[in-house]
Structure 1
Amino acid sequence: TTPTTAPTTPTTTPVPSTTPTSPPTTSAPISTTTVAPPKDWIVHGNDGTVCIIANMKVKVTVPYNATSGKMVNAPFGVEKLTDAAASGDCSPGDVQVLKLTQQNVSYIFTFVQNKTAKTYALGNVTVNILVNNYTFPNNTMSVKNVSLIHVSPVFTLPLNNSYTCSEVDALSFNGTAGTTTVKATVNLSNIRVEAFGTGNTTTYSAPLDCTSGETPDIVPIAVGLILAGLVVIVLIAYLVGRRRAQARGYLSM
């Protein structure tokens, strides 16, 4: 018998894929927008107008009794715009309010308008402080809040003008903590403020500096002395001239 040989199956070589490989996708860079820091505190009226623009530093010093039996000064203040959040009230009328709020302290600036004189003033300033061991360490107070107020106008100027001052004289504040009278000192510096605005711009109107309207006491005194001296000189010259005229009259006789 003749042996039979199984047919050989030819081997197939795999054909390389011709599908093109897509390049890896690159994510577009994420753009970030830097928000400019605020330049001023702004209060808007109900109609959207910018009624109050302000920028200032506030320093408050409140003396209190500590558990040690000693008087201690508690400092508070606003050094920069981001230290306090601004809000306010610009309802129609003659009063507008700027309120600066911190975690434990609020500062309220009340502006009053005089339509007849066409002026406005910072009529009073109020400081409210929560009493706790952070604001008044080791205090002996039994109240939860101290309210201080300065009721005299701080400045007055014509409408449509802004007020500037490098430093206002220290303001005396009075208040109460329960039945205890509290006195404090408030210093305002680097002030730029305008109230009763009627436009939509956040640009200040023409500034009036706190030193522009002040005249040192020595100036009127010096002017008065000079005028008095001139009067004396004129009087002496008149008397001398009169005596000479009289003497000439006697000689001619």
Structure 2
Amino acid sequence: MQYTTVLLLALGLAGAGAVKWGLKDTDGKYCVIFSAETIDAQLNILTAENVTETISFKINATAGATDGNCHFDFNGHPANQINARFYPNGQTPASATDAQPWRLTLTFTTDNKDVAFKLADYQLETSPSALFNTTTRGILIHLLATSGLGEKLNSFSFHSALSSVRNKVFTKASSELDLHASGTNGYKCSTTGFSLSDDSRVDVKDARVIANARLESDSFPEGQTFEQCVLDSRTSDIVPIVVGACLAGLVAVVLVAYLVGRARAKRQGYASV
């Protein structure tokens, strides 16, 4: 029988912070810039005890610089592949032997003249890590105990989920990706996400991306034009429609009130005669 538990890594004790990654080519030019307000991930892990544990955490830039390849070959197409290394929730490893960061890999490619770049592939790779120090583990155990789960602590191993994700790769699980731009435009979206294998996912808030570029720094150029994602475009279309409908309704109300008032004035004039 399969049970489900939820383990929130560090329970958000570490600050989220904005995320900004840049991939530099051998000539010093930047081919990819990726920024976001927050990146949240949820991984579903099946442990040795046949228990599905949902591990939730934030991704940030705690593990140093990104790396990758500005001239990557993806299924015969030129691509930019950026590897962002991180520790979940920015936690410091418990020891030097546990200092292998996790990695989010994004592959941007172009396959026709109308698309400057698009997200073609992605994956999230975990590494062996008992990432949390004794203090954090104590806080977690205390919170579990006070939440009414104390009777299950004897059979619950804090490390069970972490040991289950050792050297595991969560791969792309969606064929349709709304992350692309044309010409020299960048991409932006208030909320987007990547579906991963095992019903896991990564959610990105306020994403901005430029790929297949030749930029002097890891900052977005001044006056850079961004294409909106489908969700934001629909929202942008709905707002003027709603405003226009409200204005039309207001005009109709004023017109009806005017006609009613005019009709009453005429009747009063006839009555006085």
Provide Cα deviations, 1:117-166, integer angstroms capped at 9, x if missing partner: xx64543451143687879545499x96442344444445554344567x
Residue 97 (str. 1) matches residue 80 (str. 2): yes
Partner of 1:60: 41
Q: Quick check: 224-233 or 200-209, which moved more? A: 200-209
Residue 187 (str. 1) matches residue 185 (str. 2): no
Q: CA RMSD in A?
A: 4.8
Counterpart CA distance in 1 for 2:243 and 2:83 is 44
Classify the secondary structure of the residue corresponding to 2:199.
strand
Residue 241 (str. 1) matches residue 239 (str. 2): no
Measured after TM superposition, the shift of residue 90 of structure 1 is 4.2
Would you say how many aligned residue pairs link Structure 1 and Structure 2?
201
Classify the secondary structure of the residue corresponding to 2:123.
strand
Partner of 2:172: 148
Structure of higher CA gyration radius? 1
Measured after TM superposition, the shift of residue 234 of structure 1 is 0.6
Measured after TM superposition, the shift of residue 79 of structure 1 is 1.9
Q: Which runs of 5+ in 2 are unaligned?
A: 1-19, 86-99, 132-160
Partner of 2:248: 227
Provide Cα deviations, 1:79-108, integer angstroms capped at 9, x if missing partner: 217446421344799863323065664412
Partner of 1:15: none
Which protein has greater RCO, CA pairs closer than 8 Å, 6+ apart?
Answer: 2
Measured after TM superposition, the shift of residue 204 of structure 1 is 2.7
**Structure holding more helix per residue:** 2
Measured after TM superposition, the shift of residue 183 of structure 1 is 0.9
TM-score, length-normalised on structure 2? 0.51
Residue identity matched to 2:106: I
2:52 is aligned, of 66, 71, 74, to: 71
Q: Which runs of 5+ in 1 are unaligned?
A: 1-38, 176-181
Contact kept in structure 2, 1:78 and 1:84, CA below 8 Å: no
Residue identity matched to 1:227: A
Partner of 2:137: none
Classify the secondary structure of the residue corresponding to 1:169.
strand
Identity of aligned residues (%): 10
Counterpart CA distance in 2 for 1:112 and 1:174 is 22
1:51 is aligned, of 27, 31, 35, to: 31
Counterpart CA distance in 1 for 2:104 and 2:21 is 17
Q: Quick check: 143-152 or 223-232, which moved more? A: 143-152
TM-score, length-normalised on structure 1? 0.54
Residue identity matched to 1:44: D
Residue identity matched to 1:86: D
Contact kept in structure 2, 1:67 and 1:140, CA below 8 Å: no
Measured after TM superposition, the shift of residue 224 of structure 1 is 1.6
Provide Cα deviations, 1:165-218, integer angstroms capped at 9, x if missing partner: 7xx53525142xxxxxx1112133575532232x46225323457799654966
